[in-house]
């Protein structure tokens, strides 16, 4: 994979990856504002298996924000996320809080380059993939990178946090 740092992909996420020396590929696509599921839209428009495209979700775990990253066709298991972080209870974060804390808009929240570093958990299914795609920091931009590199740049960890299918 080659690094791409063209003008269309200049986001805090791509800047953080370049700074960290992490190899990635930027995948831009034409975002449809009417799309209900941003992650599934990305998988479809990029022609990539939805099991390799991951969505970034923010949750409150015992009152503190945390990031859960799961395949787009699955759901975040809030109880499993809390458990992975040593907490007891988790609930989805308010979208306005998520945007303020990450510096990104909903539908374009990247786990990389957030304004505030948050505890991050990547669903263990990512281990099976050579590369995965996550939001690049805006709607219509995904970044492809190795899951271990994603965890290195976010100081994250693997855990079984996805449910469904």
For 32-81, write each residue's pLDDT tens digit: 888 888 888 999 999 999 999 999 999 999 999 999 999 999 999 999 99
| The pLDDT of residue 147 is above 80 | yes
- Starting from the edge strand earliest in sequence, which strands make up the sheet with 141-145, in order? 25-28, 141-145, 132-138
* Cα–Cα distance, 137 to 162 (Å, whole number): 22
How many CB atoms are located within 10 Å of the residue 164 CB? 10
86-125 pLDDT, tens digit per residue, is: 999 999 999 999 999 999 999 899 999 999 999 999 999 9
38 with 53: CB under 8 angstroms? no
Q: Check: pTM over 0.85? Answer yes or no.
A: yes
- Measure CA 59 to chain center: 13
Dihedrals φ, ψ of 142, to 5°? -120, 150
């Amino acid at each position: 994979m080659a690094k791409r740092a063209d003008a269309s992909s200049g986001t805090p996420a791509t800047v953080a990856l370049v700074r960290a020396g992490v190899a990635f590929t930027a995948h831009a696509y034409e975002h449809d504002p009417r799309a209900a599921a941003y992650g599934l839209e990305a998988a479809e428009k990029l022609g990539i298996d939805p099991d390799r495209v991951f969505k970034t979700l923010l949750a409150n775990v015992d009152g503190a924000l945390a990031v859960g990253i799961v395949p787009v066709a699955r759901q975040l298991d809030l109880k499993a996320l809390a458990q992975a972080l040593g907490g007891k209870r988790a609930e989805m974060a308010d979208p306005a809080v998520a945007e303020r804390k990450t510096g990104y808009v909903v539908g374009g929240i990247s786990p990389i380059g957030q304004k505030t570093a948050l505890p991050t958990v990547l669903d263990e299914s990512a281990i099976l993939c050579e590369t995965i795609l996550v939001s690049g920091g805006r709607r219509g931009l995904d970044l492809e990178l190795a899951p271990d590199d994603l965890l290195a740049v976010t100081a994250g960890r693997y855990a079984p946090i996805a449910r469904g299918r």
